[in-house]
Amino acid sequence: MNAFDSTCGGPASPFRRQLLGAVPAAALAALAPPAWAQSDFPNRPLRVIVPQPPGGGFDFVGRALADRLAKPLGQPVVVENRTGSGTVVGTEAAAKAAPDGYTLLTGSVSNMVLNMGLYKNLSYDSVKDFEPVGLAVSYSYTLLGRNSLPFNNLADLVAYAKANPGKLTYASAGNGSGQHVLAAALWRQAGVDIVHVPYRGAQPAYADLLGDRVDLFFDLTPTTRAHVDTGKLKAIAVSSAARNPMQPGVQTINESGVVKLDLESWFGYFAPAKTPPEVLARLRTELATIIATPELQDTFRKAGGSPMNISVADTRTMLARDVQRWTGLIRAANISLD
């Protein structure tokens, strides 16, 4: 046992105090563990609020991350589906939760960006009320058309719509859904009159699209794949900035030359504002490690997603930019849910 070991658990010896006093403060700081390592967080289970029912994109990503986060944290991470008013009820619950790191939110473009424009009196502010923990994956939308439509690309579609105002229809999974907002913004910027037909969910929209009772429908690319690959519906454009590897032959909206517009539905974790920095540091470190694993990235790619690698600072910038941009587009298209 050396001189340092002999003092463990008791007062420092004069020799030890003298030696420590000679060590520069900067050196001691460099040897110190990270702030979060000195905390007892977490010492009980965490919950992740998913603001939509089981089975959708929110739930898939929320559970994929939760299942893998439990091991490095040493505590269960329980997914709680809090539904109501689209994604508002669950997101509001997360915003009002104690900022202690034990409640996280699965956030996406829907609840963190589009709601800010859709509701004039929203009960939360996604920029002020949340801290980003990490974004994991994004999904593009594909514009589908019934097979009997006389065009195969966006430029021809828009030309037809301009010559035939009010003759084409587009479906959505409901007023204010991502499918609705993206399409409405596109048609307004392109200067065409295409009639909105809202449905209660995607399945009845697909039924009418396949039955030639509605003309067009934007949906997440992974969901559209089966219909396109079997030749039942045609893919006209994708909403991502770059072509989607799942549908490499389909032009982006930007490539069409009609308008400059892109939207991808990204997903990740957020924490309530004022969560302690050392707790955020722990969560961000563990989540970043999980997101970077080849196994999880492969899982996301097989599901049609694009794995993300973006810093916390860049996430904040992107969120603020997207909120400002899409709030303007939504209000210009006169879409409101309150």
Please tell me what DSSP assigns to residue 265.
Answer: E
Outline where 191-236 has alpha helix (H). 202-210, 221-229
Q: Is 203 helix (H, G, I), strand (E, B) or coil?
A: helix
- Distance of alpha carbon 273 from alpha carbon 128, whole angstroms: 7
Tell me the per-residue pLDDT of 30-69, one tens digit each, with 9 for 90 and over: 444 454 444 799 999 999 999 999 988 899 999 999 999 9
Q: Is 87 helix (H, G, I), strand (E, B) or coil?
A: coil
* Strand stretches in 109-188, DSSP E: 130-146, 169-172
Mean pLDDT of the chain: 89
Tell me the per-residue pLDDT of 290-324, one tens digit each, with 9 for 90 and over: 999 999 999 999 999 999 989 999 999 999 999 99
Flag whether pLDDT at 29 surpasses 50: no
Among the listed residues 228, 187, 182, the one whose alpha carbon sits nearest the alpha carbon of residue 206: 228
Tell me the per-residue pLDDT of 216-248, one tens digit each, with 9 for 90 and over: 999 999 999 999 999 999 999 999 999 999 999
Q: Across the strands, what pairs with 252?
A: 238
